[in-house]
Amino acid sequence: MQILSRSITRSVSRVASALPRCWFPALARGDAPRNQHLDRLFLEKSTLNWLRQFSIHGVNETKTNNAAEDSVQTLNTSLTEDTCYMPIISGSSHRDGAIYKRAAYWEHNYFFDIADRTETRLEPARAYDIPRNMMQIFSMKLAKAPINSGSIQLYGYIAARDEVDLRLNYVFNRSRDDPIIVQQGSLIEMNGPKRAILLIFDVLLEFDMRIKNGENEEDDLQLIDGISEFDGLRMSWRPHEVRIGGNCGAVDTSFALVHSSVEATVQVIISKVQTGFDLSLSSTIALLEMNKEFQLFSGNISESCGLGSFVIAVTWDTLMNLKFKVDHEGCNNNIERNCSFKAKLNGHTSHQLNLETASILVKVTWAVLPASLSN
């Protein structure tokens, strides 16, 4: 989203505090009938494409020179490209403190206090909330590393800031004392987000990831550092991959816009473990023109445990499928089980899988993401 449209959007949101923080395509009151909301807030793909062209050809021309200098070229996703480099906003690096020196810039253009490191909070969905467009991050991969072969210790964070509250919603967060061990080309295990990521106009992805290099933190290598802006008006409905480059490597991020979606919080509890096994858990959701399968968990199970929570954006009234693959060492016949859940506005549902080696309980909580959280 360009600066002019963003300024108008956020200014209106601040003045009209009783209204949802959204402008596209109109400011609709939260207490309006559900059908009116759906008619006003969710247009067909062709209409969105027209707005994308308007944003490209109309808003850009109205920028001032100063605004153009301060802004960064926003990603214009292409259905024909597989990977492209994601621009990083100038002066957004953490390690040298540059990001904090531009506090006025972040407040003026994005309306958040960069010094506020508060994590986003969870709130019950309000009765009048409706499905909304969300950004789903499918995976993150260490695309480049200073060491081509061998393992490295990776720590730091990647967090999304959306229009719900502009606070940090960690997708990956590891301290220096608890790094993950990865190799070039391997997936980075995500331990977030805490809630779904709203995508009306834009999402900021803030990151500071480092490679542990010895005993002293000052000797650590900087993998990626800064803030990138994802433009909702130009984002493809199809899965897309971008590369975030840094001084000592790069991270590939796979994502997509999930339209008219609700939030699914998936909890997996494993009990009655008879013998150890390797477990792979993946999810498949329906996008506008295709289905997308992505990995949620891969690891060894040796005792009863919980796998934590997985937050997934699912288009309302479509199916979310979960696939469990169980692999026993020395056994050629792997076990595969599937269970599907239909996306609802709210409520809970569960499914029990009884295997020879363990019992797996799946709990799914449905919720609608509010347009904003009250202060």
Condensed to tens digits (0 to 9), the pLDDT of residues 50-99 reads: 333 333 332 222 222 333 333 333 333 333 345 689 999 999 999 999 99
Question: What is the Cα–Cα distance from 338 to 322, expressed in whole angstroms?
Answer: 6
The phi, psi pair for 307, rounded to 5°, reads: -90, 0
The SS3 assignment for 333 reads: coil
Share in percent of the chain as helix, strand, coil (round to 5): 15, 40, 40
Residue by residue, DSSP assigns 93-162 as -STTSHHHHTHHHHHHHH---TT--PBP---PPPTT---EEEEEEEEEEEEE-S-SSS-EEEEEEEEEE-
Indicate if the pLDDT at residue 104 is higher than 70. yes
265 bridge partner residues: 311, 365
Better-scored residue on pLDDT, 230 or 46 = 230
Indicate if the pLDDT at residue 223 is higher than 60. yes
Q: For the segment 175-209, what is each residue's pLDDT rounded down to a tens digit?
A: 999 999 999 999 999 999 999 999 988 999 999 99
Tokens of 169: 């919603």
Buried b (16+ CB within 10 A) or exposed e, 282-305: bbebbbeeeebebebbeeebeeee
pLDDT computed for residue 374 by the predictor: 53
Tokens of 221: 């290598």
Question: What is the Cα–Cα distance from 41 to 133, expressed in whole angstroms?
Answer: 10
185 bridge partner residues: none
The dihedral through the CA atoms of 244, 245, 246, 250 has a sign that is positive
Helix axes 3-15, 103-110, angle to 10 degrees: 80
Q: How far is CA 164 from CA 58, 201, 258, 274, in A?
A: 27, 11, 16, 44
261 bridge partner residues: 132, 315
**pTM of the full predicted structure?**
0.79
Sequence length of the chain is 375
pLDDT computed for residue 288 by the predictor: 82
Question: What is the Cα–Cα distance from 335 to 375, expressed in whole angstroms?
Answer: 48
Q: Which residue segments constitute the domains of the chain, with CATH numbers given?
A: 3-260 (no CATH), 261-367 (2.60.40)
Tokens of 318: 């479509």
**Between β-strands 83-85 and 240-246, what pairing exists: parallel, antiparallel or unpaired?**
parallel
As a whole number, mean pLDDT of residues 131-137 equals 96
Query: Please, how many CA atoms are within 13 Å of residue 1, restricted to the half-sphere of its CB?
Result: 23
Indicate if the pLDDT at residue 35 is higher than 90. no
